[in-house]
Amino acid sequence: MFGVVVCPRCHRAKGVDLSKKTTTCSCGFAIRIVPARIRLRVGTERELIEAVRRVSADLAGGLSEYERAVQPRRKTRIAEVHARVAATAMKAGDRAHRVRAAAIELSKELEVFSYQDLREVLVALGIQDIDASLDDLLRANVVYEPRQGFYRMITPAP
Ligand SMILES: [Zn+2]
């Protein structure tokens, strides 16, 4: 069996062999192949190309293939995520709570967020010292750093 998964970080579709447990996206993110993440299943590798194309078209929301090729939407989508996260974090209370809410909301939206993502959100909240905020988050065990420059919320073990 083969299938199509969508990268939680860059939101691109990728064809995978479903007998494998993980696959690495072209953006570098290691995607765990879990049933909830499989958007489409096909029987043969030959059908996979078309399946990836279909899922990509769904993700692009009806844009033509040509438009998608010349105008990647990732930038717009990420900017929307930052705006949404900043709006939520703004209501979290004092500064420490806002920083924490920003990290948690970014994790919910992106699963893994970058230093740059955090910076965009904190600047929107009027917080300038990104490094100190990040140190607080790491020290308080709100987030950890799975890869240099990338952060992820620490969730309690199931
Ligand atoms: Zn990716």
pTM of the complete model: 0.53
Distance 71 CA to ligand 1 centre (A): 17
Q: Which residues surround ligand 1, an ion (CB under 5 A)?
A: 7, 9-10, 25, 27, 29
How is 66-121 classified by DSSP, letter by letter? Answer: HHHHHS--HHHHHHHHHHHHHHHHHTT-SHHHHHHHHHHHHHHHHSSEEHHHHHHH
- Residue 135 sits in the same domain as residue 122: yes
- CB neighbour list of residue 151: distance below 8 Å, 6 or more residues apart: 103, 106, 107, 112, 113, 114, 115, 118, 134, 137, 143, 144, 145
Per residue in 29-42, pLDDT tens? 999 998 888 999 99
- The CATH number of the domain where 33 resides is what? 3.90.820
Q: What distance in angstroms lies between residue 37's CA and the mean position of ligand 1's atoms?
A: 13
Q: How many angstroms is it from 136 CA to the middle of ligand 1?
A: 28
User: In this structure, is residue 158 part of a structural domain?
Assistant: no
| pLDDT of 80 strictly over 60 | yes
Q: How far is the CA of 109 from the centre of ligand 1 (A)?
A: 14
Share of the chain above pLDDT 90, in %: 63
- The range of the structural domain enclosing residue 113 comes to 74-153
Residue that is last in its domain, among 70, 95, 116: 70
pLDDT tens-digit map of 81-135 = 999 999 999 999 999 999 999 999 999 888 889 999 999 999 999 999 999 999 9
pLDDT band at 68 (very low <50, low <70, confident <90, very high): low
91 CA from centroid of ligand 1 (Å): 30
- Phi first, then psi: give them for residue 70, nearest 5 degrees: -90, -15
CB 51 within 8 A of CB 42: yes
Q: How far apart are CA 73 and CA 137, in angstroms?
A: 30
User: Distance between CA atoms of 122 and 125, rounded to whole angstroms?
Assistant: 5
Tell me, in angstroms, the distance from the centre of ligand 1 to residue 59's CA. Answer: 13
Whole-number Å distance, alpha carbon 39 to ligand 1 midpoint, is: 15
CATH code of 134's domain: 3.90.56
47 pLDDT more than 70: yes
d(C-alpha 72, C-alpha 12), whole Å? 11
Domain identity same for 15 and 83: no
Question: Is 103 exposed, middle or buried (CB count within 10 Å of its CB: 0-12, 13-18, 19+)?
Answer: buried
Determine the Cα–Cα distance for residues 151 and 103; give it in Å rounded to an integer: 9
Distance, CA 13 to ligand 1 centroid (Å)? 8
- Rounded to whole angstroms, the Cα distance separating 105 from 84 reads 9
Distance 93 CA to ligand 1 centre (A): 33
Please write the tens of the pLDDT for every residue from 133-142.
999 999 999 9
Whether residues 96 and 136 fall in one domain: yes
